[in-house]
Amino acid sequence: MKNGWQIKTLGDVCEIVKGRKPVLKVKPSIGDLPYLVAKVMRGSADAEYASLKDRNSIPVQKAETIIICDGSNSGEVFTGFKGILSSTMGKIAKKVPIDDDYLRAFLASTFEVFNGAKTGAAIPHLDKEALYQLDLPLPPLPEQKRIVGILDEAFEGIATAKSNAEKNLQNAHALFENRLQSVFTHRGKGWTETTLGDVCLQITDGKHGDCKNEVDSGFYFLSAKDVKDGILNYENARQITKHDFEETHRRTNLEPGDILITNAGTIGRIAIASSDDKTTRTTFQKSVAVLKLVKKIIDSKFAYYCLSTGVKRFQNLSAGAAQKNLLLRDLRSYRFSLPSSLDQQREVATKLDHLSEEIQRLASIYQQKLAALDALKKSLLHQAFSGKL
């Protein structure tokens, strides 16, 4: 440890004053303040208001530090907000002179320790007593300010780099989406209009009811949440009795090359049934529709890409109800265009496959860069509080 530095516990230098739950008011009046919850501070929700006259109100000023005490992001810190603390928040009250930004940087460096680390409860809570026992390296105030200046400059550069990487990631996905839409908007010569009903042997959905679970039965009962990124995801798939599977399988009869589309909840997620041996042992809840294609008319991969361009149309067809549902009759009547030649369909699908692979390669690079920037930020925080900056 450097000369002039001390080691204090966090409890020696500050305490967390927990918020309470005052009576909320939808329409603010004079003297009322925003009721501060995480969504409001992140800008993803409008604030409700609470009165300072309420005896449960714990006010916080813009210069003070707020810390999340309950929920999956326990330990995350905010500043720059004036309002009334919610019961899931706390504010940091200093006991000794310490630079606010230095203290906030230290709390940020401990975030992973307290972010959802508690087990055995539905909602994780910040363990204040454990937090108070953390060792806080405490240099003189001028040194605190010098360290904060270095961190601010470095973090500004990291934030810019992250923003650029995130934009590049978004642009990569947008490039593929634009190309996909272009292919099916500017149709080539010989394309004809048809309906899903005309190119499918059968369009049905899964079981309108439940099945009995059986661990390791080898028979799968998937729902809309298991249709993701063009494939069926078996990671958390339910397994059911052979009897229940056979009963429902007569309806869905999933085979390699069949198209799956979610028709309830999150509408329009699409996948192709693979040649994996799980396919013929898989059936579905009613939230997934099975499209059995006439393979002499339409190629499975072409159909997948074509239907992927119609997600918004599918969502619009399902609008108007609390629980959105895409009706089978609307699927059957869904109109689109395709080349009459299977070879031409496969050529279109192959070009889109190649572009998709390139986009995924670029996306992986940008994701790795984002992870590296996060690691750099953690490393700088570690160096800051071990006297190496």
What is the structure's pLDDT at 115? 54
**Long-range contacts: 172-176, Cβ < 8 Å, 24+?**
172/359, 172/362, 172/363, 172/366, 173/359, 173/363, 175/359, 176/355, 176/356, 176/359
Alpha-carbon span 20 to 134, nearest angstrom: 25
Check if the beta carbon of residue 227 is closer than 8 Å to that of residue 252: no
Q: Which amino acid is at 232?
A: L
At 34-54, the pLDDT tens digits run 999 999 999 888 989 998 888
In SS3 terms, the chain reads as CCCCCEEEEHHHHEEEEECCCCCEECCCCCCEEEEECHHHHCCCCCCCEEECCCCCCCEECCCCEEEECECCCCCCEEECCCEEECCCEEEEEECCCCCHHHHHHHHHHCHHHHCCCCCCCCCCECCHHHHHCCEEEECCHHHHHHHHHHHHHHHHHHHHHHHHHHHHHHHHHHHHHHHHHHHHHCCCCCEEEEEHHHHEEEEEECECCCCCECCCCCCEEECHHHEECEEECCCCCEEECHHHHHHHHHHHCCCCCCEEEECECCCCCEEECCCCCCHHHEEEECCEEEEEECCCCCCHHHHHHHHHCCHHHHHHHCCCCCCCECCHHHHHCCEEEEECCHHHHHHHHHHHHHHHHHHHHHHHHHHHHHHHHHHHHHHHHHHHCCCCC
What is the structure's pLDDT at 116? 46
pLDDT, one tens digit for every residue, the chain (389 residues): 678 899 999 999 999 999 998 888 777 787 789 999 999 999 888 989 998 888 899 999 999 999 998 887 888 899 999 999 999 999 999 999 999 999 999 988 887 665 544 444 567 778 888 889 989 999 999 999 999 999 999 999 999 999 999 999 999 999 999 999 999 988 878 899 999 999 999 999 999 999 999 999 999 999 999 999 899 999 999 999 999 999 999 999 999 999 999 999 889 999 999 999 999 999 999 999 999 999 999 999 999 999 999 888 888 887 655 667 899 999 999 999 999 899 999 999 999 999 999 999 999 999 999 999 999 999 999 899 988 88
Q: Strand 59-60 vs strand 6-9: parallel, antiparallel, or unpaired?
A: unpaired
| Residue in 72, 68, 70, 71 with CA at minimum distance from that of residue 81 | 68
pTM recorded for the entire structure: 0.76
Q: How far is CA 202 from CA 46, 196, 252, 254, 293, in A?
A: 47, 10, 9, 11, 7
Angle in degrees, 0-180, between the axes of helices 100-109 and 141-185, rounded to the nearest 10 = 60
What is the structure's pLDDT at 319? 64
What is the structure's pLDDT at 323? 66
Domains, the chain, with CATH or none: 6-136 (3.90.220.20), 140-190+343-389 (1.10.287), 193-339 (3.90.220.20)
What is the structure's pLDDT at 117? 46
